[in-house]
Amino acid sequence: MAVAKRPFWMHQMVEYVLGVALIASGLQSPTPIVPGVLGLLIIANAAITKGPVGAFRLLSKKVHRVIDVFLIVLTFVAAFQPWLDTESGARLIVVFIGVVYAFVWWQSNFTEKVKGPKVSAEGGGRSAEVGRFAGRLVGNGVNAVRRPRGDDR
């Protein structure tokens, strides 16, 4: 049974929320470096991807998917690393956000939209007829407004 995946715009929005939550967690912590840097990396990844909510649109969704895996692993490594001093509450939040990030990644649809061929109205058909009628109607209305009132031609 195929599971319906979430749209990519939702994935990007969740990344922004997770990044802001990590940064906010870092601001509340006496040791803000780990959650703050992770939050910035997650937000930057969402912002540079070609998606509906992307700010700079530099990377494709396929590349974004790979970077997501790297960031998820980095989140867990950063939570349990012994080199940088990190408060235990901040570590717990980083682990929790890593779990949420992994779940969102697993449930997201990363497929690129395929653009179809352009439809030409030159072939005629009902839509072309309706379009011509609407154009003539608007044109006649504009001409009626522009025409001087005393002119009865």
Note down the domain range covering 130. Answer: 120-147
39 and 84 co-located in one domain: yes
What type of residue sits at position 143?
N
Is 31 inside a domain boundary? yes
Give 100-150 as a DSSP string.
Answer: HHHHHHHTB--PPPPPPPPPPGGG--HHHHHHHHHHHHHHHHHHHHHS-TT
Question: CA 102 from chain center: how many Å?
Answer: 17
Token reading at 151: 């002119």
Same domain, 33 and 72: yes
- Is 88 a member of any domain? yes
- Number of structural domains found in the chain: 2
pLDDT tens for the chain, 153 residues: list them. 567 889 999 999 999 999 999 999 999 999 999 999 999 999 999 999 998 899 998 999 999 999 999 999 999 999 999 999 889 999 999 999 999 999 999 999 998 888 777 666 566 677 778 888 888 888 888 888 888 776 555
Are 28 and 102 in a shared domain? yes
94-127 pLDDT tens trace: 999 999 999 999 999 998 888 777 666 566 677 7
Asked, for residue 112, whether it belongs to a domain, the answer is no
Do 97 and 29 share a structural domain?
Answer: yes
Q: What angle do CA 149, 151, 152 make, to 5 degrees?
A: 110
